[in-house]
Structure 1
Amino acid sequence: MGNVDYTKYSKLSPFELKDKLIEIAQSKTDRMMLNAGRGNPNFLATVPRRAFFQLGLFSATESEFSFSFMPEGLGGFPRPVALQNRFDNFILQNRDKPGVVFLGKAVSYVRDQLGLDPDAFLLEMVEGVLGCNYPVPDRMLRISETIIKEYILREMGVQSMPKDGLDLFAVEGGTAAMAYIFNSLKENKIIANGDRIAIGAPIFTPYLEIPKLNDYQLEEVLIQADPNLDWQYPESELRKLEDPSIKAFFLVNPSNPPSVKMSDEGLAILADIVKKRPDLIILTDDVYGTFADNFKSLFAICPDNTILVYSFSKYFGATGWRLGIIALSNNNVLDKKLTELPNKDKKELEERYSSLTTDPASLKFIDRIVADSRNVALNHTAGLSTPQQVQMVLFALFNLMDSRQSYKEAVKSVVRERDAALYRQLGVDVPQDPNAVDYYTLVNLETTSRILYGDEFADWVMKNKNPTELLFRVAEETGVVLLPGSGFAVQHPSARASLANLNEFEYAAIGDSLRRFAEDAHKEYLAAKKSKSKK
């Protein structure tokens, strides 16, 4: 380690710190670097991808039929007449290919289970995968939105809302969703500089950083989950939300990095708070909800107060696709707040959106998000690219059609077995929690030290070891990259490990490396104790 002062990096965002840790972990060539820092899954759904590529081949041929008299390489728009017949022939001729079989079943499911027009669906998918038209409607393609609604309502545990009770905006992943929402909340005078917002902590670091930016200058009130309550929010913390000065509550559920879903008790408390505070805005990022058992989103409990953000990135292994949605109920609190703005603000906003409609005052908040995403003036080119929407639909249908939920059980099993392998080699019992999702794990420095070598050793570690410096030493001496829990507003010294991006034997190796590191620290402790006793 030399004389390098690694504490100077302690103020960096964990994701910026990660790059430095990787550099150090790779500094020795006689070992393998194990990066458990970023949660990019190394598993992915293959069948809906095969379907996407096969649909692309069929659609390219359809395009070439339109201008078949022209030189090779030039096509036109697909022809809707007899499209279904040509598609059926394509299915028959390629029925030995998994992606093609899935496409045939998908059309059947859309027609027979969802009751949608199969011809209109097929034309939307063919035109969509070709990317030959602007996204129309710009918020989301019509049939695609209906299908994604089915997926969202089921996976988010929403049982009492009809499909026409919510609106979706397809966006470039969860991060784009958050950027768009924050921007539109400010542009529409719903939040203003100096406003107080509550943030459920620990949390994905950017959610701590965005409100502090000069763009927003919001005052943060942390709602702290308690590690002694299996990372649930104590009622006393949630009751902070009864303070009328708090405009909104932002959280990730299941959480990142504790990786647990909110308990039924916590959901019930929030529902009670919303009854007392019908003006409270809730923004929930539920990207990990599909990994949980019997998941129920806050959108299912408080739909009119909740902005739901969901990304397809983690569950389907599609971080590079940038697929996400924003969901709002038709009776949401944001639209109500727009009607309650002072007349001066209303007039200003009517001027802002006057180029879009003759009645800008009636423009819904979700449609304002769409417009704001393109600085209003470019609203006519808003919307997620149509090929992205097609892949999103195929992912959703893959899930909806899987009556046995085989894929879901497989990915849940993968991350949980990795979790068990890490803790087994570390020599610590695997944390048991029915609300755990296990996409990440937090290795508590103090608790682990106490379990392995007792209270005196743990006290010595807490007094003599800087957590950020320990992560650099772990990277340098073992080649293992972990992120500091402190960067996610974890109150105790800990390290976050993603359980998604390495293989099981590598997580076992991480556990083994951490155990050997603890053994070395214990030897240092014994030497210090012996030296002290001689004096």
Structure 2
Amino acid sequence: MTENTTPAKRTLDDVGPDDRLSPFELKDLLIRAASSDAHRLMLNAGRGNPNFLATVPRRAFLRIGEFAVEESERSYSYLDSGFGGQPRLDGLVDRFDTFVSRYPDDPGVRFLRSALSFADDQLGLDEHAFLAELVEASLGSNYPTPPRILEHCEQIVERYLRQEMGDASLSFSLFATEGGTAAMTYLFQSLFANELLHPGDKIAIGTPIFSPYLEIPVLPGYDLGVVDIRLDQDADWQYPDAELDKLLDPAVKVFCLVNPSNPPSTKLSDERLHAIAELIRTKRPDLVVITDDVYGTFADDFTSLFAVAPANTILVYSFSKFFGATGWRLGVIGVHEENVVDAAIRALPADVTDRLAKRYSSLTDDVAGLRFIDRLVADSRAVALNHTAGLSLPQQLQMTLFAVHGLVDRRGHYKEAAKSLIRQREQTLYANVGAPYRFEPEDVDYYTLVDLQRLAAELHGAGFANWFAAGAHGRDYLFRLARETGVVLLPGKGFEVVDASARVSLANLAEWEYVAIGRFTRKVLDEYYAQYSAENGTPKE
């Protein structure tokens, strides 16, 4: 009999105080600890998935689906076997008007009317062509054409991103992807495929940052050297000049950042954005920047680096957080029409150009003229399957409706409700710690870093804070919280945060649960302070 050699899962008893755990391994241990009580609900406040969502564009998705199926059934109704066919496009708008008249008070129908009106008045889109795209996308019966993104979807999402990223004059192309994670995967893949990155090259990462950004560059096959560009917590999480000066090294090929940051949840100030743009313009015109701006729609007066340094910056945006759509997997890559990546491809040496001509020869005879964004599409399907590339049509339909929702919400009702919800939760959490939160101008507050070291100092003095940090009590706090309350938080260390801290998502729990986190945090710090006082002879407060 063959012995089963499957390694057993680690438990808390296997973990010593000095053991180094990846953030994901630690997360799994915390979830097991939080789930140990079968009579208590486990609450994962370490995840960024929001517990709110936009309902109106989803209602519209269902209504256009209903209309699309009815249109499809007109083709083969004589078969009486559940058959449908491609909708007949002649007279489509008239039949749609008849359809929606059945639902005069339906929010989804009102939204669809607004969408068609907006597309006509603001974008000059042909109503019949736009409606036909929505209907065909709903049915999902064809391959995505064009594979990069549907024509009207691109125009609407581009307009939405111009509005949200801070520059209405930008001109760029989009590639619709399976969320922001797929966007990052495709970007690294194509940068290597086009020999703009090689193993051993340097890549700069703005930290603290979502942990996969730290883990992708060092994967076997990539083997990139990582240069840490660190945000300064004491300057409201902005990049100091000394950190930005690291980008002057010509060996640094790419700079990746998340803005607003994750987990500090602070946007870059206008002054820092323009400092980076000026550095690029005057000293690093060859630098490629990738900015992940998924949280930008929660910020006040947000401006993306994509808007101030467009030729050098590739935009990654996901609809997942703002619209409560992580399960939809909706993201885009935005590339300016005139950009440094295409310029770098044109400047490649002849031997590399020859290799790339062979790689992309099945797509076009003019490989030299093939844009980077189109290479991204092809590389996403191993080039040979380019003809079946592209985000699924129903996903592009929902993306279109989300973008229209952001455009027609002219008074910002949804946006203001989302921002006020997460900021109220933050105030609630810190009020129950006993250290009310002070909102800074660049704060966004989708997450908060519960900085245990700083809270320890604020509540009980610097001596206690130093003792707390030296004893590595931060991890014990996470396990106690999981065991005693069922709440899981992620350690700040997993995001390259220096102080003992925990990331709390302010988007995915109910108000009373933030009360519980705040009270438990104060309870643990007070208990440790009692221990510190006993050991050091310090009078108890």
Tell me the TM-score normalised to structure 1 length: 0.96
The separation in 2 between residues aligned to 1:302 and 1:289, in whole angstroms, is 16
TM-fit CA distance, 1:29: 4.5
The separation in 2 between residues aligned to 1:361 and 1:109, in whole angstroms, is 38
Query: Does 2:261 correspond to 1:255?
Result: yes
The separation in 1 between residues aligned to 2:461 and 2:291, in whole angstroms, is 39
Query: Does 2:142 correspond to 1:149?
Result: no
1:23 to 32, 43, 46: 32
The amino acid of 2:337's aligned partner reads N
Residue 211 of structure 1 aligns to a residue in which SS?
A: coil
1:267-306 matches, within 5 Å, as 267-275=273-281, 276-306=283-313
Query: What's the CA shift string for 1:324-368, capped at 9, x where partnerless?
Result: 000001101010000111100000000000000111111100000
Other-structure match for 1:470: 477
Conservation of the 8 A alpha-carbon contact between 2:12 and 2:29 = no
Q: Taking structure 1 as reference, are residues 267 and 149 closer, same or farther at Cα in structure 2, changes over 3 Å only?
A: same
Other-structure match for 1:409: 416
TM-fit CA distance, 1:7: 3.7
Other-structure match for 2:104: 95
The amino acid of 2:238's aligned partner reads Q
The amino acid of 1:33's aligned partner reads M
Structure 2 gap ranges (5+): 1-10
The amino acid of 1:205's aligned partner reads S
- Comparing 71-80 with 279-288, greater Cα deviation is found at 71-80
- Comparing 97-106 with 81-90, greater Cα deviation is found at 97-106
The amino acid of 1:472's aligned partner reads F
TM-fit CA distance, 1:513: 1.0
TM-fit CA distance, 1:179: 0.2
Conservation of the 8 A alpha-carbon contact between 1:439 and 1:499 = yes
1:383 to 386, 390, 399: 390
The separation in 2 between residues aligned to 1:4 and 1:426, in whole angstroms, is 31
Other-structure match for 1:113: 122
2:190 to 174, 184, 188: 184
Other-structure match for 1:214: 220
The amino acid of 1:78's aligned partner reads P
The separation in 2 between residues aligned to 1:183 and 1:363, in whole angstroms, is 17
The separation in 1 between residues aligned to 2:167 and 2:190, in whole angstroms, is 26
The separation in 2 between residues aligned to 1:503 and 1:244, in whole angstroms, is 48
Other-structure match for 1:450: 457
Query: Does 2:345 correspond to 1:358?
Result: no
The separation in 1 between residues aligned to 2:421 and 2:14, in whole angstroms, is 38
Query: What's the CA shift string for 1:366-411, capped at 9, x where partnerless?
Result: 0000000000000000000000000000001011001101000000
Conservation of the 8 A alpha-carbon contact between 2:180 and 2:316 = yes
1:12-161 matches, within 5 Å, as 12=22, 14-29=23-38, 31-161=40-170
Residue 150 of structure 1 aligns to a residue in which SS?
A: helix
Residue 419 of structure 1 aligns to a residue in which SS?
A: helix
Query: What's the CA shift string for 1:203-255, capped at 9, x where partnerless?
Result: 00000000000121000000000110111111111121112111110000000
Conservation of the 8 A alpha-carbon contact between 1:231 and 1:258 = yes
Aligned length: 528
The separation in 1 between residues aligned to 2:52 and 2:349, in whole angstroms, is 51
Q: Taking structure 1 as reference, are residues 291 and 267 closer, same or farther at Cα in structure 2, changes over 3 Å only?
A: same
Query: What's the CA shift string for 1:254-292, capped at 9, x where partnerless?
Result: 000000000111111111111121100000000000000
Residue 184 of structure 2 aligns to a residue in which SS?
A: helix
Query: Does 2:240 correspond to 1:234?
Result: yes
Conservation of the 8 A alpha-carbon contact between 1:198 and 1:250 = yes
Conservation of the 8 A alpha-carbon contact between 1:292 and 1:436 = yes
Query: Does 2:21 correspond to 1:11?
Result: yes
The separation in 1 between residues aligned to 2:390 and 2:347, in whole angstroms, is 29
The separation in 1 between residues aligned to 2:538 and 2:167, in whole angstroms, is 63
The separation in 1 between residues aligned to 2:474 and 2:224, in whole angstroms, is 29
Conservation of the 8 A alpha-carbon contact between 1:34 and 1:510 = no
The separation in 2 between residues aligned to 1:197 and 1:285, in whole angstroms, is 15
- Comparing 29-38 with 112-121, greater Cα deviation is found at 29-38
Identity %: 55
TM-fit CA distance, 1:483: 0.7
- Comparing 14-23 with 65-74, greater Cα deviation is found at 14-23
The amino acid of 1:473's aligned partner reads R
TM-fit CA distance, 1:2: 8.6
Q: Taking structure 1 as reference, are residues 33 and 95 closer, same or farther at Cα in structure 2, changes over 3 Å only?
A: same
Conservation of the 8 A alpha-carbon contact between 1:200 and 1:252 = yes
Residue 226 of structure 2 aligns to a residue in which SS?
A: strand
TM-fit CA distance, 1:8: 6.3
Query: Does 2:513 correspond to 1:506?
Result: yes
Residue 254 of structure 2 aligns to a residue in which SS?
A: strand
TM-fit CA distance, 1:413: 0.5
Q: Taking structure 1 as reference, are residues 183 and 3 closer, same or farther at Cα in structure 2, changes over 3 Å only?
A: closer
- Comparing 236-245 with 341-350, greater Cα deviation is found at 236-245
Q: Taking structure 1 as reference, are residues 211 and 294 closer, same or farther at Cα in structure 2, changes over 3 Å only?
A: same
The amino acid of 1:509's aligned partner reads A
The separation in 2 between residues aligned to 1:455 and 1:73, in whole angstroms, is 73
Conservation of the 8 A alpha-carbon contact between 2:378 and 2:385 = yes
Q: Taking structure 1 as reference, are residues 531 and 433 closer, same or farther at Cα in structure 2, changes over 3 Å only?
A: closer
Residue 294 of structure 2 aligns to a residue in which SS?
A: coil
The separation in 2 between residues aligned to 1:34 and 1:512, in whole angstroms, is 16
The amino acid of 1:438's aligned partner reads D
Other-structure match for 2:438: 431
Other-structure match for 2:208: 202
Query: What's the CA shift string for 1:419-453, capped at 9, x where partnerless?
Result: 00000001112032111110000111211011111
1:365-380 matches, within 5 Å, as 365-380=372-387
Query: What's the CA shift string for 1:278-335, capped at 9, x where partnerless?
Result: 1000000000000000000001000000010000000000000000000001101010
- Comparing 409-418 with 446-455, greater Cα deviation is found at 446-455
Conservation of the 8 A alpha-carbon contact between 2:162 and 2:169 = no
Q: Taking structure 1 as reference, are residues 77 and 30 closer, same or farther at Cα in structure 2, changes over 3 Å only?
A: closer
The amino acid of 2:515's aligned partner reads A
The separation in 2 between residues aligned to 1:219 and 1:487, in whole angstroms, is 19
Conservation of the 8 A alpha-carbon contact between 1:9 and 1:17 = no
Q: Taking structure 1 as reference, are residues 482 and 322 closer, same or farther at Cα in structure 2, changes over 3 Å only?
A: same
The separation in 1 between residues aligned to 2:493 and 2:14, in whole angstroms, is 21
Other-structure match for 1:480: 487
